[in-house]
Amino acid sequence: MFRAFPRVYANTNISINLSNNLLSSRNVIRNVLFRSISHVGNIGLGKTSRKMNFNEKRKLLVNVLKRNFTESPDPEVTIPSKPITISIESHKLLINWQDNQTSKFHNIWLRDHCKCENCYHHKTKQRLVDTFKIPEDIKPLSASPGLNGIEITSLWDARIEDCPPTVQYEDVMQTKEGLSNWLKKIDKYGFCFVDGVPPKVKETEELAKRICFIRESHYGGFWDFTSNLAHGDTAYTTLALKAHTDNTYFTDPSGLQMFHLIEFEGKGGSSLLIDGFSIARKLKMKYPEAYKVLSTIRIPTHSAGDSDVLIQPTPLAYPILNHNPLTNEIYQIRYNNDDRSTLNRLTSEEIESFYDSIRKWNKILVDKENEYWVQLEPGRVLIFDNWRVLHGRAGFTGHRRLIGAYLNWDDYRSKLKISCLSRQEIEEAL
């Protein structure tokens, strides 16, 4: 489970697995965000004169990190004074160890050596990743030691179509490992398909509850809807829906959203997924000023389509791009241009910079290279992180029945941590 161990002794052969299928909590542990898909595998460093055993490495890492935060190193292990630091060059990641040694990893090498199940065949021990599709300029967005080592969250684009994260229903429902693997994929990619799900309400609802209880809302609990305007929202029509995140009108938008298309006789209606963190990164690189505007200007939102509902968040308006105040890393996107209320609290300058910035955001959002279109089908359940992944829908004709649910962010993250960390690790994360 542990992927990164601090290099303490010169020439110590330690393995760093910068795997990105680590448990990563955006609020507690900083991630390394790569621009496109990036998974990395074991990295051997130097020749060993003394091989630290597994527990020593792990204990040292945890204590190094504790020291960074609590100045209370474990008495069993002498802790060097300097914390690990990681710096990013245009083509390399540098890990600066406590003993003043520096390890250099080429970004393309890191990506090419991923050992996750999508990139490496663990039985045949052969590489599955297409080396020649790795962008030459791939690089991390940021990097820092995490609780379980240096963690990398994968960003993706339309190419995810070649190998979308997918698990099997039976595995998820029958085994703890199956559930844990599902949750880790949702954490790593921001979405995951579950194949082999009986196209029925009962089984789909049970699947959602495998993670946690379903979140009730003014749309109900486990929803089962068609284009009958049962609720005053365009989701209940045949209209196309542009890329958005749900619940921008809730103070606490739902963390996960599950869809299972169980009936469809008609045309169109395919689903759109976009990695919002990848879009945000591209915006930051190309239009840093626009990124700053969308990270600061607050946008009022509402849900008022039902006669007995007027939902607005507290405070009334949030930025579209929201950052963790401790780490300044993006942790939540709140974007639904249709659910945006009147902009009546902005200055004239803010109005101009908002529209200029949102146009730049949209220009990247609608770029085909960032859009993953997929036709949902009975038996294949989609679940996605509503704080990161934008979704949408093509317009359609005919009968289309979609069932699904919202799950709370905190309860999802709780299940992820409980299913991936030992009791001791949980203790150490508190």
Ligand X SMILES: O=C(O)CCC(=O)C(=O)O
Q: Binding of ligand M3L at residue 225 (CB under 6 A)?
A: yes
Least Å distance, CB 129 to ligand M3L, is 35
CA distances from 178 to 175, 205, 417 (A): 5, 17, 14
Least Å distance, CB 331 to ligand X, is 21
In the bound state with ligand X, the residue whose beta carbon lies nearer, of 134 and 382, is 382
Secondary element (H or E) of residue 286: helix 276-286
| CB atoms near residue 330 (< 10 Å) | 22
409 Cβ neighbours under 8 A, 6+ residues apart? 252, 253, 254, 255, 256, 387
Radius of gyration of the chain (CA): 22
Restricting to residues 258-277, name those near ligand X by CB under 6 A. 271
Report d(CA 294, CA 291) in Å as an integer: 5
| Residue 334 binding partner per list ligand X, ligand M3L, none, with a CB distance cut-off of 5 to 8 Å that depends on partner kind | none
User: Exposed, middle or buried by CB within 10 Å (0-12, 13-18, 19+), for 194?
Assistant: buried
Task: Please name every residue paired with 104 in a beta bridge, in sequence order, or none if there are none.
Answer: 94
Q: How far apart are the first and last CA of the chain?
A: 18
State which of residues 5, 223, 335, 384 lies at the interface with ligand M3L (CB under 6 A). 223
In the bound state with ligand X, the residue whose beta carbon lies nearer, of 223 and 287, is 223
Give the distance from CA 217 to its chain's centroid. Answer: 23
Q: Binding of ligand M3L at residue 385 (CB under 6 A)?
A: no
| Residue 335 binding partner per list ligand X, ligand M3L, none, with a CB distance cut-off of 5 to 8 Å that depends on partner kind | none
Restricting to residues 384-413, name those near ligand X by CB under 6 A. 391, 393, 402
Instruction: Report the interhelical angle of 348-365 vs 276-286 (nearest 10°).
Output: 120
In the bound state with ligand X, the residue whose beta carbon lies nearer, of 6 and 269, is 269
Yes or no: say if 412 and 185 are a contact pair by the CB < 8 Å rule: no
State which of residues 39, 111, 188, 244 lies at the interface with ligand M3L (CB under 6 A). 244
In the bound state with ligand X, the residue whose beta carbon lies nearer, of 21 and 247, is 247
Yes or no: say if 424 and 293 are a contact pair by the CB < 8 Å rule: no
In the bound state with ligand M3L, the residue whose beta carbon lies nearer, of 254 and 419, is 254
Instruction: Please choose, out of 218-226, 290-298, 317-325, 371-379, the segment that lies near ligand M3L by the rule CB under 6 A.
Output: 218-226
Least Å distance, CB 219 to ligand M3L, is 4
Residue nearest to ligand X (CB): 235
Report d(CA 31, CA 146) in Å as an integer: 7
Report d(CA 141, CA 271) in Å as an integer: 28
Least Å distance, CB 390 to ligand M3L, is 10
Report d(CA 192, CA 382) in Å as an integer: 6
Report d(CA 191, CA 385) in Å as an integer: 6
Residue nearest to ligand M3L (CB): 246
Of 31, 292, 303, nearest to 147 by C-alpha is 31
Task: Please name every residue paired with 52 in a beta bridge, in sequence order, or none if there are none.
Answer: none
| Residue 148 binding partner per list ligand M3L, ligand X, none, with a CB distance cut-off of 5 to 8 Å that depends on partner kind | none
Restricting to residues 109-138, name those near ligand M3L by CB under 6 A. none
In the bound state with ligand M3L, the residue whose beta carbon lies nearer, of 382 and 420, is 382
Restricting to residues 231-260, name those near ligand X by CB under 6 A. 235, 241, 246
Q: Binding of ligand M3L at residue 408 (CB under 6 A)?
A: no
Restricting to residues 319-358, name those near ligand M3L by CB under 6 A. 336, 339
Using CB under 6 A as the criterion, which residues of the chain lie in contact with ligand M3L when the complex forms? 219, 223, 225, 233, 235, 244, 246-247, 336, 339
